[in-house]
Amino acid sequence: MRPSGRNLSQMRPISIETGVMAHAEGSCLIRVGNTHVLCTASLEETPPRFLKGTGLGWVTAEYGMLPRATNTRNRREAAAGKQSGRTQEIQRLIGRSLRAGVDRSALGERQITIDCDVIQADGGTRCASITGGWVALRLAVNKLLKAGAITSDPIMDHVAAVSCGIYAGQAVLDLDYAEDSEAGTDGNFVLTGAGRLIEVQMSAEGATFSRDQMGQLLDLAEGGMAELVAAQKAAVA
């Protein structure tokens, strides 16, 4: 039995509320169970310096947690004067994942920055950030299309992410914190709406895993993706 009482292949409740920030070109608040992340997309009409003259656009991301997103207060990274290695790794993952679903030639020489701020954490914050970040990106690109700033849609497919793991010897979908902290194997799966893999992060957290178990986790992730993409479609409809 999972601590939450969910079935092995059952996602937490998903909701995505759009238009939550008045000034951002795209924004949403994504809730995956008790994990809540505010995602915004900010458009700049100039690309990063290394892309000037190439005709290519760029999508990047920043990630952070509010001090009381968890059960104890975390010190603000700004107060420490630098970002943690975990923060840097997660925001690079978000940026890589979202760029994989974008035709950068169609975007043109401009940059869209996705900011993901974790308001409340209960496992899977990077996955919720990618899923919600795509919605914010989609809304920002819609504004470019409506304004005639670009002529073809640069977003090639949905991008979303979900965690899976081996908990109490069984493969489970969408780990919350209680499961994540005890999982023998933990994995994050980033996929497109068509089921193409963008990135897989898997590690043994105290017990090794077999190739068959890895396949079980991927099967679960593909099932969870259907729900995530459905939530994205409903949010941007």
Q: Where are the alpha helices (DSSP H) in 12-119?
A: 77-80, 85-99, 104-107
Check whether 185 is labelled as a binding-site residue: no
Check whether 81 is labelled as a binding-site residue: no
- The Cα 150–Cα 141 span in angstroms is 9
- The Cα 92–Cα 83 span in angstroms is 13
Check whether 46 is labelled as a binding-site residue: no
Check whether 124 is labelled as a binding-site residue: yes
Total count of residues recorded for the chain: 237
- The Cα 25–Cα 140 span in angstroms is 5
The b-or-e profile of 100-129 (16+ CB within 10 A means b, else e) is bbbebebbbbbbbbbbbbbebbbbbbbbbb
Q: Name the 3-class secondary structure at 204.
A: strand
Mark the binding-site residues for phosphate, compressed into ranges.
86, 124-126
